[in-house]
Amino acid sequence: MQECSKAEGAEVSSGRAVSGLEGSGDLGVPGDAESGSTEEERRVRANAREYNEKFQYASNCIKTSKYNIVTFLPVNLFEQFQEVANTYFLFLLILQLIPQISSLSWFTTIVPLVLVLTITAVKDATDDYFRHKSDNQVNNRQSQVLIGGVLRQEQWMNVRVGDIIKLENNQFVAADLLLLSSSEPHGLCYIETAELDGETNMKVRQAIPVTAELGDTSQLARFDGEVICEPPNNKLDKFGGTLYWKENKYPLSNQNMLLRGCVLRNTEWCFGLVIFAGPDTKLMQNSGRTKFKRTSIDRLMNTLVLWIFGFLVCMGVILAIGNAIWEHEVGICFQIYLPWDEGVHSAFFSGFLSFWSYIIILNTVVPISLYVSVEVIRLGHSYFINWDKKMYCAKRRTPAEARTTTLNEELGQVEYIFSDKTGTLTQNIMVFSKCSVNGHSYGDVQDMLGHKAELGERPEPVDFSFNPLADPRFQFWDPSLLEAVKLGDLHVHEFFRLLSLCHTVMSEEKSEGELFYKAQSPDEGALVTAARNFGFVFRSRTPKTITVQELGQAVTYQLLAILDFNNIRKRMSVIVRSPEGKIRLYCKGADTILLERLHPLNQDLASVTTDHLNEYAGEGLRTLVLAYKDLEESYYKDWSERLHRAGSAPEAREDHLARLYDEVEHDMMLLGATAIEDKLQQGVPETIAILTLANIKIWVLTGDKQETAVNIGYSCKMLTDDMTEVFVVTGHTVLEVREELRKAREKMMDASRSVCNGFSYQEKLSSKLTSVLEAIAGEYALVINGHSLAHALEADMEVEFLETACACKAVICCRVTPLQKAQVVELVKKYKKAVTLAIGDGANDVSMIKTAHIGVGISGQEGIQAVLASDYSFSQFKFLQRLLLVHGRWSYLRMCKFLCYFFYKNFAFTMVHFWFGFFCGFSAQTVYDQYFITLYNIVYTSLPVLAMGVFDQDVPEQRSMEYPKLYEPGQLNLLFNKREFFICIAQGIYTSILMFFIPYGVFADATRDDGAQLADYQSFAVTVATSLVIVVSVQIGLDTGFWTAINHFFIWGSLAAYFAILFTMHSDGLFRMFPNQFRFVGNAQNTLAQPTVWLTIALTAVVCIVPVVAFRFLKLDLKPELSDTVRYTQLVRKKQKAQHRCMRHAGRAGSRRSGYAFSHQEGFGELIMSGKNMRLSSLALSSFAPRPSASWIDTLRKKKGCEGSSASSPSGAADKTLRV
């Protein structure tokens, strides 16, 4: 098997320029190959493998795995020992193997270390196994390759640049191909790009005419054309190159390309020439590298481990110096019966050995069980997500899935969400909702008296049984429109005739009367389906005709011209000749464009229709205006000749065509308007509102056009009428984009200054703010297009863009490429130091999902690439609210409480050795026996803290959703940070001091019941150990906020286990079996039989615990947190049994003119006629739909680390000032 080229581009040409040069046709002339490490242009000759191999292009083999059988063990261990903690414990293990300095057995370290390494290695091996499996599945797909004039079955990995391959219907495209010919007329073929750009609608590609006739293998085998084109890049919608063949050159564009990841649809076969293979394909160029994701707590723990190690070294140095001094001053006098160990000849060397001994003894300040426990807790949190029935979608039978166990607590710290639009926020389902025809509005549901029906009073839908070709899934609720059709209303007939003719939909009739429409966009499909159900059924089309069945009668129209969409025209027209010979232009487009092009006779009708448009837009519907114009035969003939000349113009072709289109699309007659509902997923507006209240900023990054994305922004309540202003950045040059961003910032600053001068904005700008913009008054939104974003993301402008965007409440980026999505996420990560989450459902979201701290995949309509690349997955956007506010917040809370307690209990345990060192001649003698040291973190204190880390919660899940402000401590990183860490270790050191000195002071003069001296080493050890276990058990009882049977069992069971093991180790039976290991028979029984010992233990526990209880009581009373107030409110409500008041957010409908109901790209129109491209866009942005002011949110939080900020309880239940 041939060695695969790595997906990251590690082949010979890894230095290629992949800067995304768009190219413009003629890139050079064929010539001899010049080898070089940087590819400035690509030369590909058909059917010439030897020629193409000189350039050392990448093969078509994909490799995403990290290991193989040989490299797994060394590479994986190398990666694991890059972790500071693993290296630290390996170092300690080596020390314990040296007899001169080891005070503890080696098994106390090696067993947990091997366990951790093994668990991690198994996990990594499993992940990589699935990568290998996926790679093999893709690389071993079969493809038909033309070799020596014969089609041969070859694996994808064996396909080479320059090969000609044959694709058949429903097959995946194996590499980036230049389309040569197809089974369809004019070299057309249809592809589905869901795996590439997330869009489920079909697109058209066309071969250039000179190759379109190469339909059989003998002709293709003789084809020796050479392509010179741009180098590999990540731009999905751009391609520039030239084909040289038979001494002629032919320009190539993106419309001639089939990209890897697409699927051939509705096309029997096609042939293509491989231009880019494997890692050079645009799909792989956009995939991005898989990044190892770590939480901020992980990074902080690594820092703390280094600090603790430094502290450990300091303690070791102090005790070593003490040992050297003691041996020099005191120990030298006792050499007769306390001789130095063999090899020790000086006090200095004794101190040196003592230093390493103490390093071993004191290493338990960070035991390896910490890392084992962290992984167990994360695993438990992951299972809770998987088992959550409230995140289960019964319709799709899809549960939520935590695909990683390492990021759970970071779900509780998210500040920025980057969301795809289509399929993530929406269902990608368009519904024909309302329409206006000749000044009459249809679509309102009416009751029996003819009044508009209220919600919940909807009657039966319109009965379309009269039409055998009607789509049974289509529903409409106003019967008057169907009555108008049946009564022969000419305006209504012409309205639906336009919808059945003016489109680029493809029809497939698998059996008689069973129609399937293949639309380039769901909204266009909805319009054609509406016409179908009302009796105007689009049946079929050819490049020159359209056949429509009008009220049961088949009518074929001659298709004379299709006038394409583009971003400036914002409309689409067709010119058809009816069977009667009448020539008519039908046009549909954005209201702001079409209303200006109507005949003056339409003024009154336009006024009424505009009112209807405003009404529809207020309901968040996507609107479209329809018009027509009759053309004289002589005028059309002249216009058509001019159109043909313009289409053949060598220069400024698009400008000539635009002028001709504009000329004919004037003085049209208004027919009416349509209103389409782009259905949001259930619960999206509510979810966005709640997440916004949690101070999470949501950015929408979509490949869709501007007006479509903005419409969804309204529907989601991201964009509102209450916003001060919405900035639209559409500049095409660096200077234009910079100027638009500058003006936006100036307007925000001017508005803030004016508000401040009016004394309505009293907040002072904090000196800690990184940007003055973060304290502006008012609410703003930013909408930016992909071509503008490309400039905004450049190094010299990215900070300006980020400052402007972060000052806005909502950000929508339109027409962005997959890589641009990842770049936006990376920009926020780089400068804001905030936790980011990316959520999407298509392959075009994979780069964004991989780049963000947390990636969430929606298992929807667009394949499973997003899910496979994600860290968490579920089926609906609304589940994100529960994932973050419940599971994320609880995971963060539990992990923080776990870490605080863990460091506390281990410092309390370990520091006793430090104090004891001053009383044992710094001899590295331990206070406890080695079995207690081994079992302390494994048995006595492990399960209670695990139970708290897995099950604890401060407030119930309903309160977590009801009070989004509870989420903010995680964003501000308040529950575990360096300050909290120092508080924990201070408490641990305080406990260790009392734990050692109280028993030491008591034992100095205490006696047994029989008068004998109580003080001996083993009795002291038992007393201190018992005090320690009791104190840390009581402490975790105080820390536990949510008690379960498991918590009770583990806490009290651990105490019982301690005493059972203690008495067993000092029993007579164990001594008889292992006399050398358990020599202190009956010591525990004798010690714990003394009242003095129990009084000492009780005194120690009280002195350690009472200050903690007092401090927490005062804090709860004087400075309660929001969670404290919520719990108090809950208790009050339970006692009073008062009715619960829910927060209600009132909103009024938007008054903006909605974007017209189209979202498909250039593609079908002229391709059907002449193979050219067509793009649809529309609508300028005007006004917005509301969102309640959220200024009260900001009172809790001005900036991370800001002290003394306060906020009122959002529930209004407790009128206390809350401070964070």
Which of 192-206, 414-428, 1172-1186 is predicted most confidently?
414-428
Higher confidence at residue 506 or residue 250?
A: 250
Q: What mean pLDDT is predicted for residues 983-1002?
A: 94
Residue 197 pLDDT: 61
From 581, 583, 582, select the one nearest 573 (Cα to Cα): 583
As a whole number of angstroms, the distance between CA 149 and CA 223 comes to 10
Separation between Cα atoms, residue 314 and residue 316, nearest integer Å: 5
Residue 181 confidence (pLDDT): 94
Question: Is the alpha carbon torsion for 282, 283, 284, 288 positive or negative?
Answer: positive
Q: Name the CA dihedral angle for 776, 780, 782, 783, rounded to a multiple of 10 degrees.
A: -170
pLDDT per position as a tens digit, 930-969: 888 888 888 899 899 999 999 999 989 988 998 999 999 9
- Three-state SS string over 673-707 comes to EEEEEEEECCCHHHHHHHHHHCCCEEEEECCCCHH
Q: How confident is the model at residue 777 (pLDDT cuts 50, 70, 90)?
A: low
What are the pLDDT digits (tens) for 1063-1076?
Answer: 998 888 777 787 77
Judged against a pLDDT cut of 80, whether residue 111 lies above it is answered with no
Which residue, 1149, 1155, 1153, 1148, is CA-closest to 613? 1153
Q: Would you place residue 861 in the very low, low, confident or very high pLDDT band (cuts 50, 70, 90)?
A: low
Mean of pLDDT values over 1190-1201: 38
Other Cβ atoms less than 10 A from the Cβ of 564: the count is 26
Please pick, among 280, 420, 591, 871, the residue that the annotation labels catalytic: 420
Residues sharing a CB contact under 8 Å with residue 684, sequence separation 6 or more, in sequence order: 425, 426, 715, 716, 877, 878
Token pair listed for 536: 């105007």
Element (H, E) at 269: strand 269-276
Which of 1073, 1076, 1074, 1059 shows the shortest CA–CA distance to 1022? Answer: 1059
Active site residue 32: no
Which of these ranges, 280-294, 721-735, 890-904, 975-989, has the smallest mean pLDDT?
280-294
**Residue bearing the bigger pLDDT, 773 or 690:** 690
Q: Which residue has the tokens 């189209």?
A: 1158
Tell me the sheet residues that pair with 265: 190
For the ranges 93-97, 112-116, 329-333, 408-412, the one whose mean pLDDT is highest: 408-412
Q: Could you tell me what percent of the chain has a pLDDT over 90?
A: 39
Asked if the model's pLDDT at residue 213 lies above 90, the reply is no
With tokens 């807790």, the residue in question is: 377
Residue 1101 has pLDDT above 90, yes or no: yes
Q: Report whether 572 contacts 1157 (CB < 8 A).
A: no
Residues pairing with 1123 in the sheet: none
Beta strands per DSSP E along 75-187? 142-147, 150-155, 164-168, 176-182
Per residue in 435-447, pLDDT (tens digit) is: 999 999 998 876 5
**Using one digit for the tens of pLDDT, what is the confidence trace for 1017-1045?**
888 999 999 999 999 999 999 999 999 99
Higher pLDDT, residue 640 or 1213? 640
Q: How confident is the model at residue 628 (pLDDT cuts 50, 70, 90)?
A: very high
pLDDT at 50 over 60: yes
Lowest mean pLDDT among 39-48, 191-200, 1157-1166: 1157-1166
d(CA 972, CA 694): 12
Buried b (16+ CB within 10 A) or exposed e, 325-336: ebbeeebeeeee
Rounded to the nearest integer, the mean pLDDT of the chain is: 81
Range in 76-90, 165-179, 470-484 with the lowest mean pLDDT = 76-90
675-683: average pLDDT: 83
Q: What is the mean pLDDT of residues 357-377?
A: 83
Selection from 791, 844, 853 nearest residue 821 by Cα:
844
- First CA to last CA across the chain, in angstroms? 62
Most confident of 429-438, 717-726, 1186-1195: 429-438
pLDDT reported for residue 551: 92
CA distance 179 to 170: 16
Instruction: Assess whether pLDDT exceeds 70 at residue 204.
Output: yes
**pLDDT bucket at 1060, cuts 50 / 70 / 90:** very high
Say which residue the tokens 């054309």 belong to: 225
What was the pLDDT predicted at 106?
Answer: 67
Nearest Cα neighbor of 288 from 833, 865, 872, 877 is 865
H or E stretch including 1034?
A: helix 1017-1039
Contact 504, 541 (CB under 8 A): no
- 434 within 8 A of 675, measured Cβ to Cβ: yes
Residues in CB range of 1103: below 8 A, 6 or more apart? 994, 998
**pLDDT band per the 50, 70, 90 thresholds, residue 1099:** very high
Contact 975, 896 (CB under 8 A): yes
Q: How confident is residue 302, by pLDDT bands cut at 50, 70 and 90?
A: confident
- Inform me whether the pLDDT recorded for 772 exceeds 90: no
| Res. 1157: pLDDT tops 50 | no
Helix pair angle (1017-1039, 1045-1065), 10° resolution: 180
Asked if 228 and 242 touch (Cβ cutoff 8 Å), the reply is yes
